[in-house]
Structure 1
Amino acid sequence: MSGNRIDVVMSTYNCAKFLPETIQSILSQTLQDFRLIIVDDGSSDESHEILESFAHTDNRITIITQKNSGIVSAVNAGLALCTAPYIARHDADDISDPDRFEKELAWLEANPDCVAVSSLPRTIDERGAPASKAIRAKDLSLVRDDSYPANEPYIMQPMLMMRRDALEKAGGYRKLPVAEDADLYWRLRKFGSLHVLPEELGAYRMHAGSISSSSIIRGRQLAVWSQISALSAQRRRKGLPDIEFTDALSGRMNAAGSLADMYLILAEQCSSDEKNWLALAISAKLLETCYYRDYEPDRQDIRFIRETISRNLPVYHSSECVVFREAVLSASIRLLITGHPVDAFMLTEVRRWPVMAGRAAFRGILSDRVRGWIKSCLPRKLIYGHK
């Protein structure tokens, strides 16, 4: 049985080129009272040799090797060995600053009502150079499981530290191929608060092989799974039977390529009211995801979104969907600027075409400095088309 204060759980799959730097960042922590459990999820590169070389020189490292089964299976295999009161998560391609563990543990020990803490990360590219995308902390006081999309209780998983007893009470990670972290956070909230330290304590690597940034298909999956986990939270809040996340459900969802097909599979488990919420929520979430990633909705996605909006016009035009409407307009402007005018005009309501065209021209013609000056001078309604 481990006598350490922290067990660090890391899963890896074909990340050999990042492993030495990642592992060294963990071993170089100012707080040294930890055990590092690394699960090799069936890597076919040089990962095994690298892991064995580190384990040979540091007895705090435990290596588990398994057949490739996905991140949830790998992480749960590592968690099964944890005995320390605190568990830190780590991805195989990210980097922790030397004081990350010390500062996160200090917060948890000083705040017994908090069950999970994370920090802000810097973003880096595949070579380790600073990336242009900044990650900001979400306002956890605004969390809602029934907004459009759900406002998730999200904290950065690569920088996560949590209490083991709370994780066990929450049921650990469930079988979601993506958004498994958000699903866990919804359940952890029952046992205490979540917190984000307002400082950067590590680096989050964004690259082509990253699970969260690979393609529009992944974007659809993220949109759908994140919102079904929020629907699961709604059911628990209402005392209704929870949604079951099974291998069979994951298999069907993975085989479904379109947003419409994914929705129809999940709708089999939903009531009429849940179906309407889910269709609107996954539409809104896909557009939100596209804003942060290097892909845009295709013609089939746009058709599903427009049909969903048409069936739910009173809700879409209500105050509940202000963020959703802005996401529609923003995506339409990006499509117009990047040479997809048909998709842009399909996605946006006819009455907002002038606003879309004006804002597209505003972005395309003027420099960032001039646009910023104009925004500071004009009323918000003239720029964005709403209060």
Structure 2
Amino acid sequence: MPGFSLLLPVYNGDSAEFLLRAYRSTVMEQTLPPSEVVLVQDGPVSAPIVSAIAELDKSTPVPLKIVILPENRGLAEALTAGLAECAFDVVARIDADDVSEPNRFTVQLDLIAQGYELVGSGLREFTETEAGEQLGVRRIPPTDPEEIGAYARFHDPFNHPSVVYTKAAVDKAGGYQPLGMMEDYWLFARMLAGGVRAINSPEALVRYRVSSGAYKRRGGLKLLKSEWMLQRAFRASGFTSRAQFARNIVVRGGYRLVPEWVRRRAYRTLIVGDTEATAR
């Protein structure tokens, strides 16, 4: 298996407790751990997060590079800064509040070794309550490489916290570019348009933390503006047709304006194309 870097952005809105859990699951509990971790601190963070990073720096079993940005620059710039520090061409992503399953990289790096340049996976939503961790729906995007491109014209074809990719493929597509909260979708679209070899594992290799305000944050005028910018970028680049542009504006744009309870019901079918209801 090739060596690979783990890219982990952290900002002031993250939880120190969740960061520690994300790191341990993605580094210390893996059957195939990363060769290094590049942690990007995106601007000033709270004292608990500073302490958590210091704790990780002392206890990590693999090299940890800490990149500190003096001001909060947003996800696109944070990931760009982190990618520049990654020593390996193969890079895995994780967010500071999610959890990786122990076999995640064993599965995904095997696909990278087969020649794929962009490898995602399914994920499982979860919440934490006083009774413990409660598992929710599985979100499984298309696994057939030929279906991913067609799916991407309406849905984000990859769960961003689950991806492993090559820096060469990311650089070829122009890297992360600021676009509201749609930087990952825009990058993946450009990678697909450029002919990247891409696949998704059907296994839910990441547990995705869902907070009580998750569906509220997916709506509103700010998200509508980001959606509009994304769809205009898709159309201008030729990634979508005029008909697809109009459909996306009406359906995806309208989704940002409906009441939260409607958004909650519509999210998995209209936006992420979910395939399985809650397990427990």
| CA-to-aligned-CA distance 1:256-315 (integer Å, 9 cap, x gap) | xxxxxxxxxxxxxxxxx96x8645531221345679x93558xxxxxxxxxxxxxxxxxx
Cα distance in 2 for partners of 1:194, 1:288 equals 28
Show the 5 A alignment for 1:260-299.
278=245, 280-287=247-254, 294=260
Structure 1 counterpart of 2:5, one-letter code: D
Contact 2:154 2:248 in 1 (8 A): no
Q: Describe the shift of the 1:201–1:231 C-alpha distance in structure 2 as closer, same or farther (beyond 3 A).
A: same
TM-score (normalizing by structure 1):
0.58
Q: Describe the shift of the 1:204–1:22 C-alpha distance in structure 2 as closer, same or farther (beyond 3 A).
A: same
Relative CO higher for 1 or 2, CA cutoff 8 Å, sep ≥ 6? 2
Question: For 1:7, which of 5, 8, 13 is the aligned residue?
Answer: 5
Contact 2:181 2:223 in 1 (8 A): no
Show the 5 A alignment for 1:296-307.
none
Secondary structure, counterpart of 2:133 in structure 1: coil
Cα distance in 2 for partners of 1:232, 1:126 equals 42
What value does the CA root-mean-square deviation take over the aligned residues? 3.2
Q: Describe the shift of the 1:212–1:25 C-alpha distance in structure 2 as closer, same or farther (beyond 3 A).
A: farther
For residue 56 of structure 1, report the CA deviation from its aligned partner: 1.9
TM-score (normalizing by structure 2):
0.78
Contact 1:96 1:201 in 2 (8 A): yes
Show the counterpart of 1:107.
111
The size of the alignment, in residue pairs, is 254
| CA-to-aligned-CA distance 1:166-216 (integer Å, 9 cap, x gap) | 111111101112111111111212132221101111201111465984542
- Segments of 5+ residues of structure 1 without an aligned counterpart are 238-272, 298-325, 328-387
Question: For 2:229, which of 217, 225, 228 is the aligned residue?
Answer: 225
Cα distance in 2 for partners of 1:222, 1:207 equals 21
Cα distance in 1 for partners of 2:229, 2:128 equals 27
Q: Describe the shift of the 1:78–1:208 C-alpha distance in structure 2 as closer, same or farther (beyond 3 A).
A: farther
Task: State, as a whole percentage, how many aligned pairs show the same letter.
Answer: 22
Contact 2:117 2:196 in 1 (8 A): yes
For residue 154 of structure 1, report the CA deviation from its aligned partner: 1.3
Show the counterpart of 2:39.
38
Show the 5 A alignment for 1:201-212.
201-208=205-212
Cα distance in 2 for partners of 1:212, 1:83 equals 38
| Higher fraction of helix | 1
Secondary structure, counterpart of 2:85 in structure 1: coil
Give runs of ≥4 in structure 1 deviating > 3 Å.
Answer: 131-134, 138-145, 208-215, 276-280, 287-291, 293-297
Cα distance in 2 for partners of 1:43, 1:208 equals 25
CA radius of gyration, larger in: 1
Show the 5 A alignment for 1:330-341.
none
For residue 160 of structure 1, report the CA deviation from its aligned partner: 0.2
Question: For 1:188, which of 187, 191, 194 is the aligned residue?
Answer: 191
Show the counterpart of 1:51.
53
Show the counterpart of 1:175.
178
Q: Describe the shift of the 1:74–1:169 C-alpha distance in structure 2 as closer, same or farther (beyond 3 A).
A: same
For residue 229 of structure 1, report the CA deviation from its aligned partner: 3.4
Contact 2:140 2:204 in 1 (8 A): no
For residue 64 of structure 1, report the CA deviation from its aligned partner: 1.5
Cα distance in 2 for partners of 1:210, 1:61 equals 30
For residue 86 of structure 1, report the CA deviation from its aligned partner: 0.4
